[in-house]
Structures are given as structure tokens and as C-alpha cells.
Amino acid sequence: MALPPTRRRSRRQRKKMRIDEFQELGFEYQLELKAPLEPQAQEALMDRFVRDLLAPRNLAAAGWVSEGFVTAFDCGSASDDDRQATQAWFAAQPEVAEATVSALKDAWYVED
């Protein structure tokens, strides 16, 4: 969804649209694996990701092993510290050859 046009809106509208002071940020990740993983190994990797990193930091992810998007679980934003922790966690996994984590970006609107 593209960013809505700029115009004067009430606080309630900005909150509902998640813009301005209510903007929520997240980041993308992409993984290159050392070797293709069986479905059970993929599930084990993602279970560890949720248990060891996402849940303790109150984050949520959409996607799967090769790529995904991470943001705050409820309302709010992922932080740069969350982004760096995700990069480090993936880099420490024996199955992962290379992990790329993007800069923080709007979780609701695609920038043109």
C-alpha cells in the first residue's frame, strides 16, 4: 500500500492510519543457507528464531527461512538494536551462510 497523501488529519485518524507519530517500523531479512534444508530442519531453525530472538524481544515475523519481515508484536516499532540482534543471531546459526538485514522501514506503507 502506498503512503497516503499528505493532508491535515486528526490524531485519531493518524493513529488509525499508523502515520506520523504513530508510524511503525520493521526490517527485512534474507538468508543464504549453506545447503538446502529438509522441511523439518527449516521448521527447527524457525522455531529457534521465534523462541530465542523474537519472543524475548516481543517481535513478530512474517516470511520463512529464505526471507521475511520483522516488526513489533503488538503496536510500536522494531528498534535498531533488534535489527542488529537479528543479524547477529542469524550469523551465529550453523545452517546460515550469509544473513542480510535491511535498514528500518515503514511496516505499513511502501515508500515510492
- Note down pLDDT in tens along the chain; length 112 residues: 776 777 788 888 888 887 777 889 999 999 999 999 999 999 999 999 999 999 999 999 999 999 999 999 988 999 999 999 999 999 999 999 999 999 999 988 887 5
Q: How many CA atoms lie within 13 A of 84 on its CB side?
A: 3
Q: Is residue 37 part of a domain?
A: yes
Q: What is the pLDDT of residue 35?
A: 95
Q: Is 51 helix (H, G, I), strand (E, B) or coil?
A: helix
Strands (DSSP E) found in 54-95: 59-63, 67-72
Q: Is residue 58 part of a domain?
A: yes
Q: Is residue 56 part of a domain?
A: yes
Q: How far apart are CA 73 and CA 26, in angstroms?
A: 10
Q: Is residue 78 part of a domain?
A: yes
Q: What is the pLDDT of residue 3?
A: 66
- Cross-strand bridge partners of residue 67: 30
> Phi/psi at 96 (nearest 5 deg)?
-95, 125
Q: Is residue 3 part of a domain?
A: no
The domain that contains 50 carries what CATH number?
3.30.70.860
Q: Is residue 54 part of a domain?
A: yes
Q: Is 20 helix (H, G, I), strand (E, B) or coil?
A: helix
